[in-house]
């Protein structure tokens, strides 16, 4: 069974959603037969490469929201994150465009380290004030999960994964993604948002049941057949 997830590294609910999906999969009977692929999505592609200000200041100016409202929103999100064992630090968070980080993620996927890179990028951004728009920071994150420093620098310099990032975003547009996280199971069932583990589990069970349907016995009345005691005459 295949799970495709569209998310943005700069999306706080995406990290929470990742944890909740992991909880749903932790004791799933068919976990070894489930593949998870991360896809790129940018909530704010027009965000500057670097923004000299806080996340609260940026959202207040970008969305025209009162500062107090943004602070209340962040407090709620941080509380939800804490419930999943995550320590969000919005006061120290570095506001930066996530495009380069998505390029790093695609390199990691090619090297079989997609999930590790996604985890490190999300944790770095929301918990450790990492600048996900900075090449040196991305090199540090990438090498921490096993990627080669030279390959990271070369890939980010020549933009070889920019087309892959754009392709993910275009596919999201085609299937109607308007918010993230957006989880698609077997390209058949979609779960939008950081839903509770029970919701993810319900969808997984439904999708799996349709892959291996229960045997349906058609009763056509008595008919000749063979059994342990012999065959009908």
Extract the tokens encoding 72: 């209340």
Residue 18 near residue 155 (C-beta atoms within 8 A): no
Q: What pLDDT, on a 0 to 100 scale, did the predictor assign at position 78?
A: 98
For residue range 183-222, list pLDDT tens digits in order.
Answer: 999 999 999 999 999 999 999 999 999 886 554 445 455 5
Question: Domain 2-211 falls in which CATH fold?
Answer: Glutaredoxin (3.40.30)
Low-confidence ranges of the chain (pLDDT < 70): 212-233
Q: What pLDDT, on a 0 to 100 scale, did the predictor assign at position 186?
A: 95
For residue range 99-109, list pLDDT tens digits in order.
Answer: 999 999 999 99
Cis peptide upstream of residue 196 (ω within 30 degrees of 0): no
Strands (E), the chain: 2-7, 35-40, 182-185, 189-192, 226-227, 230-231
Q: What pLDDT, on a 0 to 100 scale, did the predictor assign at position 15?
A: 98
Q: What pLDDT, on a 0 to 100 scale, did the predictor assign at position 52?
A: 87
Q: What pLDDT, on a 0 to 100 scale, did the predictor assign at position 62?
A: 85
Q: In 3D, which of 10, 170, 38, 18 has the Cα closest to residue 105?
A: 38
Q: What pLDDT, on a 0 to 100 scale, did the predictor assign at position 145?
A: 98
Total-model pTM: 0.89
* Structural domain boundaries in the chain: 2-211
Q: What pLDDT, on a 0 to 100 scale, did the predictor assign at position 230?
A: 47
User: Which contiguous run of DSSP H or E holds residue 216?
Assistant: none
């Amino acid at each position: 069974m295949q799970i495709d997830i569209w998310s943005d590294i700069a999306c706080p609910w995406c990290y929470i959603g990742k944890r909740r999906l992991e909880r749903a999969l932790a004791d799933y009977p068919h976990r070894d037969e489930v593949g998870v692929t991360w896809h790129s999505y940018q909530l704010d592609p027009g965000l500057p490469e670097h923004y000299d200000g806080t996340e609260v200041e940026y959202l207040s100016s970008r969305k025209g929201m009162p500062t107090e409202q943004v602070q209340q929103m962040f407090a709620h999100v941080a509380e939800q994150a804490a419930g999943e064992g995550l320590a969000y630090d919005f006061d120290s968070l570095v506001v930066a465009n996530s495009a380069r980080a998505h390029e790093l993620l695609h390199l990691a996927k090619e090297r079989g380290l997609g999930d590790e890179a996604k985890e490190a990028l999300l944790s770095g951004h929301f918990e450790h004030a990492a600048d996900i728009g900075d090449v040196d920071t991305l090199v540090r994150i990438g090498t921490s999960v096993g990627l080669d420093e030279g390959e990271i620098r070369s890939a980010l310099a020549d933009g070889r994964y920019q087309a892959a990032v754009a392709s993910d975003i275009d596919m999201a547009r085609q299937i109607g993604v308007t918010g993230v996280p957006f989880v698609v199971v077997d390209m058949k069932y979609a779960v939008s948002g950081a839903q509770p583990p029970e919701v993810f589990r319900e969808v997984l069970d439904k999708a799996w049941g349709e892959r291996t349907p229960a045997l349906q016995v058609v009763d056509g009345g008595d008919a000749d057949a063979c059994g342990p005691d012999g065959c009908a005459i």
